[in-house]
Amino acid sequence: MFLFPTGCLILILAIFFLPLLFILGFFHIITIGFGKLGISPEATFLLLLLILFGSLVNIPLTRKKLVQVKEYRFFGFFAKPNLMVQGLAINLGGGVIPLLLCVFFLSKIPFEPVLAATIFMIIICYYLARIVPGRGITLPFFVPPIFSAIFALILAPGFAAPCAFVSGVLGALIGADILNIRKAQKLSPGFISIGGAGVFDGIFLVGIVSSLLTF
């Protein structure tokens, strides 16, 4: 008779259940953090789901139109005409919902330190944003959460969490996306989404980092 070693069974169970426990612990920390920001655990869970699934939804701000662009191949010797959809939209999960949360937090915290932190974040995000053909405007995902947390702890230590959230979100949306729209339309003609894939990761991490600052 073959006896399955107990140690191997425990190891297999740990491999399967540790990621689940990590995810549950992660959401528990986030819900506690947002609870201290004035948002209930149920609302926090719903917001996280809305942000994640909302990232798939782009709300058009302008009419979509087809434009003809040239794609260069073989080191630029041959140009092939191609049709591309051009337009401007705002992402539901990376733009609309974070902006609504910013309005909620701004009603509860002093305006001056948040304004100063937001201005710094706009400047940093503007100069670090890059325009990638085919993807649009991109921003290193670690920039908004790290710098917004630093500025919030320095300028508004008593309101670090909501200050970090507001300055991080507005800095990424205004500095990286909005101020670079015209440049992006020239260098990377196509469909541009404010708060879309290029900056969504950073905005999502802003919410996580800001909630951790409440501990």
In tens, the pLDDT along 19-53 reads 544 454 555 656 666 676 677 777 777 887 788 88
Query: Other C-beta atoms within 10 Å of 128: how many?
Result: 15
> Confidence band (pLDDT; 50, 70, 90) for 118?
very high
Q: How far is CA 170 from the centre of its chain?
A: 11
- Percent share of the chain, pLDDT over 70: 68
Task: Render pLDDT for 67-115 as a digit per residue (tens, 0 to 9).
Answer: 555 555 544 555 565 656 677 889 998 899 999 989 988 988 889 999 9
Question: How are beta strands 58-60 and 65-73 bridged, if at all?
Answer: unpaired
Q: Where are the beta strands (DSSP E) in the chain?
A: 58-60, 65-73, 78-91, 130-132, 136-138, 191-194
* List of residues 6+ apart from 108 with CB closer than 8 A: 38, 162
Query: Other C-beta atoms within 10 Å of 135: how many?
Result: 15
96-101: long-range pairs with CB below 8 Å, 24+: 96/54, 96/59, 96/195, 97/47, 97/50, 97/51, 97/54, 98/51, 98/169, 98/173, 98/195, 98/203, 98/206, 98/207, 99/169, 99/173, 101/47, 101/165, 101/169, 101/207
Whole-structure pTM value: 0.76
Q: So where are the chain's domains? A: 6-212
